[in-house]
Structure 1
Amino acid sequence: MNRKLRFPRVGIPLLALIWLGVTTIPFIFMVVSSFKSQEETFTTSVWAPPGHLYWGNYAAVLKGPFFTYFRNSVFTVGVSVLLIVIISAMAAYVFARMRFALNKLLFGLVIAGMIVPLHATLVPIYLLTRNLGLYDTAFALLGPYVALSLPVSIFILTEFMRQIPRELEEAAQLDGCGPFTIFWRIFFPLSGPGLATVAIFNGIGLWNEFIFAYMLTSTSEHRTLPLAIWDFMGQYASNIPSMLAVLVLTSLPLIVAYAFGQERVIKGMMAGSLKG
C-alpha cells in the first residue's frame, strides 16, 4: 500500500524530468551544433561540443535575406491570428448563445472541417490563389491560414463561451443591449483566456508552417522563415551549421512568446474544460 502511495510522489516528477530531457536535448543539440564550422561538423563526432564558438554561421544568416523572411512571417502570422481570433470569436458566440433551426447542423459542418486532410486542399488552393492573382504576394498565405485554422478555433471558443453565466447576457438584454453589443462588451472580454489559447496555438502552428509557404510563394521577397533554410541547401552539399543557426533564430520568437503566454494558455484550457 505504501509503495502505491509513493509512486505518484516520486514517479510523476521523474516522468516529468524524463519528458523535459526528451524535449530539451534536441534544442540544446541544435544550439551547440550551430556554433560549429562546416569543417568541424564533418571531422568530429556529431555529439562533440565545438572546439570554439564559431559565429560565422549566424553572421552568414543575418547577412542574407533573413530579416525579409522574418518581416514576412510577422506580417502573415500577425494578420492571420488577428483575423482568426475575431472571426472565430464571432462564430463561437453565435453557436454558443443563439438558438436557431440550423445551429447544430452548421456547427457540425464547421467542426467537420477539422477532419479534412491538409494535402487534399493543396491543388484547389494553389489554383484559386493563381486565379485571384495572389500568387507570390504578401496576401497569398492569409486565406489558407485563416480558413484552415477556423474549425478548431471555433470549437475551442464555442465550448468556452458556453460556460459564461447566462445571467450576464440576460442583464445586458434588460438594459437594451443588442447581440453585437453583448458580444463586444461582455463575451469578448470574458473570453480572454480562450482567445489567448487560440492565438498562441495558431500562432505557433502558422509560424512553423512550411507546405503552403513553399507552394504559394516563389521569391525571397514574400517567403517566410521556414523557407529560409533553403538558402543554405545546395544540389550536392548543404551548410548544416548555418541551417541549424537559421532554426535557432526562427525558434527564439516562439520560445519568448510561449514563455510569456503559457500561463494564459493553461488557464484558457482549464477554464474551457470546467463548468462555471
Structure 2
Amino acid sequence: MIKIAFYNLKGGVGKTTTAVNMAYMAAAAKKNVILWDLDPQAAASWFCQQEPGTGKAIKLFSKGKSIAEMELFSPFPNLMLIPADLSLRSLDSEFDELGKDKKFFKQLLKPLSEKADILIFDCPPTLSPSVEQLLQEVDILLIPMIPSPLSMRAMEQVIEFLASKKSAPKRIVGFFNQVDMRRSLHREAIENSKKMPLPMLKTYIPNDAAVEQMGLRRAPLTSYNQRSRAALAYLDLWKEIARLLKAAAKENE
C-alpha cells in the first residue's frame, strides 16, 4: 500500500479539492483507494457525500480501537472514505494521552494495507505533533501552493522543518494550484519553478470556477465534468502522480 499525503501549512491552497480528485481518478484506474479525511472541517468528507459526523472520528485514535472494525464506503466505485468531523480538533490531546507513542500511526495503518492499494490523506493545515508523526509514515508528500509569497513561504517552512527531522517522506513534491496566468506574479512563479527548493510537478491547476461547483455537486470534478480547464489539468496531474506511485511501489518491493 502506497501512502500519500496532501499537505501545506497554509490553508486555502486547493489541498482538499486536489486530494479528492486524485483519489477519484486513482479509483477510476481500478485501484482500491482509501481517502482519509483528517481535517476537522471535513471538506473531503462533504465532497464524498458524507453527512456531518457526531464526534466519531476521534474514536479511531482511542487506545484499543481497531480501524479494521470500520465499514468504509463512498458513492464512488473503488473509493473508500474515512470521514472527519469536528472531534478531530482534539486529536493532539488524544496523542498526549497515548503517551506520544512514535509507532502509533504505523500500527494504526497496518490493517488498511489489506483493504487498499493507495491510501490518501487530506491533512489539516497545521504542523501539530499528530501531523508530524503522520508525515513520517507516508511514501509521498504532495505540497500544493498558490503562486504567491505567503503560500510559497509556508511550503519553505514545511521543507525546513522536515529537513531537521531524522524521518521524513521519501518523496516531497510540490505543485501549483489556483493559477491565474493573467497575473505576472503567477507567470513568473511558473517560469521559475525549477528554482524551487523541492521537485515540482509540471502540471498546474488553473483558477477555474468549475472547481467551486464541487461543493454544490458534492462530487469530484472529474466525475461529472472532464472538459473544463481544471478537469483537464487534474487528469494531467494524475498522470504525473501515477508515475510517482509506480516508482514508490518499486522501492517498496
Q: TM-score, normalised by structure 2?
A: 0.25
Normalized per residue, which structure has more helix?
1
Larger Rg: 1
**Greater relative CO, 1 or 2 (CA 8 Å, sep 6+):** 1
Normalized per residue, which structure has more strand?
2
Q: TM-score, normalised by structure 1?
A: 0.23
